Amino acid sequence: MLLEGRIAETLAELLASVDMTVMATRRRSRLGRLLFGSVSQELLRNASKPLLLVSGYNYPVDLTGRPHLNHALVPLDGSPGSEEILLPIVGLSRVMDGQQTLLRVIPEDRPFSLLKKLPRALADLNDVAKRWKAYLPKLKTTHVWSDSQINREVLKQAEEQQADFIAVATRGGNFSRLFRSGLADYLIRHATMPLLVVKQRSE
């Protein structure tokens, strides 16, 4: 389709009729997006459907190969909204027959605080796995405690777990979030593997 108009606004009108939007991203910095805008952030702000982002490149696109979306790394923070990413993953799993790894990163601040957080975090992650196991039979869980930033730990785990893509729910791309990097914002700017993002409906 050849359309005219502002890119984000014109695409947003089509999103209600599709199951997923797939697009390349330039991985601009927060300042770059403030100055030049970001189509992906505009779509995240208004879209109710999943958005699959891949790193753009200047070579001809190869449409003959089967995409590698078999293994999803799904970081969860324990909130109900973060689980909303699992519904589109169920749809992808039916097509790709894929596997999923639910990840919980526990900040390592003080040892005694960690001992209190760990049992609850593990129980929450196991509860999520039990609820979704019928729809995602290859689902597994993993947890790490880390003294580095959670955002960086997620990227590190994606490599160690040999994930094909990362899947995450976000609260959306409003103006104030340009100045504080949430997980989805960080991954959009730094991840080299595909990123599946869905906007949370619940807080």
CATH classification code of 7-58+69-199: 3.40.50.12370
Instruction: Give residue 30's pLDDT.
Output: 54
Q: For position 131, what pLDDT does the model report? A: 94
Summarize pLDDT for 156-194 with one digit per residue, the tens.
999 999 999 999 998 765 434 443 458 888 888 888 899
Model pTM? 0.81
Domain locations along the chain: 7-58+69-199
Which parts of the chain have pLDDT scores under 50?
A: 31-37, 174-180
Structure tokens at 86: 């699992």
The pLDDT value given to residue 26: 67
3-state secondary structure 7-73: HHHHHHCCHHHCCCEEEEECCCCHHHHHHHCCHHHHHHHHCCCCEEEEECCCCCCCCCCCCCCCEEE
- What does the pLDDT read at residue 194? 92
